[in-house]
Structure 1
Amino acid sequence: MVAGETSGDLLAGLLLDGLRKRWPQVQAGGIGGPNMAERGFEAWWPSEALAVRGYVEVLRHYRGILRIRNQLKARLLLERPQMFIGIDAPDFNLDLEAALKAQGIKTVHFICPSIWAWRADRVQKLQRSVDHVLCIFPFEPALLESHGIAATYVGHPLASVIPLQPDRQAARLKLGLSPDDKVVALLPGSRQSEVQYLASRFFEAAALIRKAQPAIKFIVPAVPALKARLEQMALASGLGDGLQILPSQSHTALAACDVTLIASGTATLEAALYKRPMVIAYNMNWMSWHIMRRKQLQPWVGLPNILCRDFVVPELLQDAATPRALADAVLQWLQAAPEKIAAVQQRFTTLHTELRRDTATLATDAIQKILQA
C-alpha cells in the first residue's frame, strides 16, 4: 500500500480495519503514516516523503520521489504481493501501478482521481494502471465504466466515522473551551508547501478577525512535523494568546469550532461532514496555479461545492486569498443569521447521508472478488 499524505494515511487506516477484519493474518507494507502504523502496517518510508503538491514543488523534490518509487517498485516486483493498493496520490501511484500490473500483480486504486474536475487525460493512464478502482463518490463508477475501467462505489469512509450529529460540547470540553466561546479553526494544510503559501495568510487573517471580535478563540490542528513551524508563524503574527496549536486533532477542532478557515483538499469534506460553515482558500506557486487553472473542468475547487454543485461556501483562491478577504469572509459567517447557518448545515447533512456506506465491507468485498478472479 502507498498513502502519500495525512488524508491518505487516514483513509488507508480505515481500509486496513476492513482488511484485518476479513483476513486477520494480512500483512501490509509500503509507504504510510501513523494511522496505518497503529494497525500493524510496516512503513518502509513515511507518507510525509510524498506530501508535495503543485507542479513546481514536485519538480523540486522529483529526484527523491523518483528514487523512492524505483526502490519500492523493485522490492514489490521481487516480493510479488498478492495485491497493491494505491491510496490516492495518483502522480506517484498510477505509474507504479502500471509497472506492477504489467508484471501480473493485481492493482487497486482507492479514490478515483478527480478526472471529473480536472486532468481528464488521466483516464487513459487509469486504464493501463489498475484492475479496479474503489470510488468514494456515487457518480464515479458509471463514469469510469464508460471508459472500460472496473469500479465500485464504496462510500466515503469518513462519512461513517464522523457522526451525523457531531458533539460540539464534548469537543470543546476536550480542548478546554467553554460552550459560549466563539471559535474559529484554522486548517492551512498538512503539507509543507501548503503551510509555506497559506499559513501566514491565515494567521494574518486571524489577527484581523481578532481586531473585529477580540474575544474570538482560534484553534490550529497541526501534523507533528509542522507544529513548531506553525508556532513560530503564529507568534510572528502576534497571535501568541487566544490561539491553541493542537497536536493533530483536526476532527476535534472541526467538531468544536463555529467556523473554519481551511485549505482546499480532503479536509474541506471533513468540515462539511462536521456541518461547519467554512471559507475555503488556496495559494500555491504561481506557475503551478496557471497550469492547474488551464486543466480545471468545473467552476468549483472545494469538495463540498463540487459535490453540492453550488457555491455553498466561499472559495478564495490564489490572489483572491488575501488576509483581508479571508478575514471578511470568516466574519460574515460569524455574523450570519441563524437560518443561513441552518441551511448550510442541512445541505451538508444531506451530503453526509449520500456518502455514508459500510465502506470497509464494500471495499473488501470488491478486493476479494479481484483476488479470486
Structure 2
Amino acid sequence: MEVTHSSSALSDIAPVFAIVVGEHSGDTLGAGLMESLMTRFPNARFVGIGGPKMLALGFDSLFDMEELSVMGIFEVLGRLRRLFQVKDSLVDYFSQQKPDVFIGIDAPDFNLRLEASLKAQGITTVHYVSPSVWAWRQKRIFKIAKATNLMLSLLPFEKAFYDQHQVPCQFVGHSLADDIPLVSDKAQARASLHLPLDKKILALMPGSRGGELARLVEPFLLTARQLMQQDGELVLVAPMISEKRARQFEELHQRIAPELAVKVIVGQTQQVMAASDCLLTASGTVTLEAALIKRPMVICYKFNPLTYHLFKGFVKLKWFSLPNLLANKALVPELLQSQVTANNIVPLIKERLYQDQSQLDQAFTDIHQSLKQNASEQAANAVSQLYLSNKK
C-alpha cells in the first residue's frame, strides 16, 4: 500500500538521511539523490561520508571520502585496519543518532558490512548501485538480502537477477543518462576548453584512483608516443578528477615521456570527452559516460597482479566494460592485464581515430535511451516511500 502525505506536511518533516559514498561516481549519484530528496523534505539533514558535490549541498561528512577510495584485495589489506576503524566509528555514530534511512552508495565491500550492522539494529537500509553479483561471487546475493531493505539498480538486467532470488530491487536508471544530452557538441566542447577545432584529439584517461594511474599511465603514454610518431598533429589531453590526481599524472608523465605535450585539465572530464575524437580509458563508470557522450574508446584495466590471479577464475563474464555489458556484445575493445601494451593499443586507437564510427553512435544512443529514467527522482521516490512507510 502506497503511503501518501501532502506536500505541506512533508515540508514540516525533518528526516535524517545517512549516506556513505566511496568515490567520485558515488558522489555524483549522492548529490543527485540529495537534491531530489530536498525537494520533498526541505528540512532534511544528510550525514555520513560524502564527496565535494555532496558537501556543496550541505552534506555533513564525518570522514574524507578518500578514506574509502581503494580497490583490489591487496590494496585493501594495506588499509584494512583503518577501514575497520572508520566502519566501527560509523556504526557507533549511527547507532546513537538513529538516522531514518541509511543509503550506501556503491563501495559494496564496505557499505554492505555497514548496512548489515545497521539493519540488525532496526535501521532501514538501502544500497544504491548493485555490485556485480550477477557476474561473480553470486552467493553474495544472500549477504545483500540480509544487509538491505532495498537495492536500487542502475542497469536494467540487474533487476531480473534480484527478482529471481526474491530480493527487493528497483531499477532506477542512471543519473548520467539524465544529465548528459543525447547529442554532445564536439565543436562547442573544444571551444570551451580552448582546443583546436581542426585536429584529431585523443583523451588519455588512466583512472580516478591512485593505483589505477600507477598501473596505466605508462602504457597510455607509450601508446601516445607511437601515435605521435605517425601523426605529429595529434592533440593529447588528459582529464583528471582532482588536483591530487593531476599531480600524480604529471610526475609519471615527466618520468616516462617528458617530450610529449599533454594538456592536463582538472574537473571537466565530460567536456574533455565531448571534445575528443577517441578515448583511451580505464574501465569503470567513465566508460558509461563515454558511451553516453557517444565517443569511440579503447578500454584497459590492470589489477594488482596478485588480486587478478586470485579472482580471475570467479568471474562469469564475456566482457568487463559497461558499454559491452549493456549492449550484450563487443561494441568497444577491451584489454586486460598483460594485454595492456602500446603495441596492442595503437592499432585499436588508429582505427577509431580515423575511421567512420556512425554505427557505434547508434548503439550508444540505444544504451542512452534505455538508461534515461530520471534516476535521481526514481531513487528519491523509493527512499521516500521507505521512510514514510516507517513513520506510518
For normalisation by structure 2, the TM-score amounts to 0.92
Select 1:14's aligned residue among 32, 45, 49: 32
- Compute the displacement of 1:241 (Å): 5.3
SS in 2 for 1:178: coil
Structure 1 gap segments, 5+ residues each: none
Deviation of residue 240 (structure 1)?
5.4
Q: In structure 2, what residue type is equivalent to 1:66? A: F
Which of these residues, 195, 204, 221, is aligned with residue 186 of structure 1? 204
Partner in structure 2 of residue 265 of structure 1: 284
Match status 1:348 vs 2:364 = yes
**How far did 1:139 drift?**
2.1
Match of 2:307 among 288, 293, 314: 288
Q: C-alpha deviations, 1:154-196, integer Å up to 9, x for none?
A: 1111000000001211211111112212111111111111111
Q: In the alignment, which residue of structure 2 is the partner of 1:108?
A: 126
Displaced runs of 4 or more, over 6 A: none
| 1:150 corresponds to 2:164 | no
Say whether residues 1:276 and 2:295 are aligned partners.
yes
Matched residue type, 2:270: H
Q: How many residues align?
A: 370
User: CA RMSD of the aligned region, Å?
Assistant: 1.2
Mapping 1:285-324, distance limit 5 Å: 285-324=304-343
Amino acid corresponding to residue 368 of structure 1 in structure 2: S
Does the Cα contact within 8 Å between 1:159 and 1:356 map onto a contact in 2? yes
Seq. identity, %: 37
Deviations 1:247-298 (A, max 9, x none): 1211111111100001011111110001110000001211111223112111
Paired with 1:25 and 1:327, the residues of 2 have a C-alpha distance of 54
| 2:108 corresponds to | 90
Residue identity matched to 2:337: Q
Cα shift at 1:142: 2.6
Q: CA deviation at 1:13?
A: 1.2
Partner of 2:15: none
> Residues of 2 paired with 1:148 and 1:210: CA distance?
54
**Could you tell which deviates more after superposition, 269-278 or 282-291?**
282-291
Single out whichever of 99-108 and 244-253 deviates more from structure 2.
244-253
Counterpart check, 1:367 vs 2:383: yes
Which structure has the larger Rg? 2
**Contact (CA 8 Å) 1:203, 1:239: kept in 2 or not?**
no
Whole-angstrom CA distance in 2 between matches of 1:292 and 1:305: 21
Moved more, 98-107 or 149-158: 149-158
State the one-letter code of the partner of 1:38. Answer: A
Q: With structure 1 as the length reference, what TM-score do the two structures score?
A: 0.96
Paired residues of 2:37 and 2:384 also in contact (CA < 8 A): no
- Name the amino acid aligned to 1:176: H
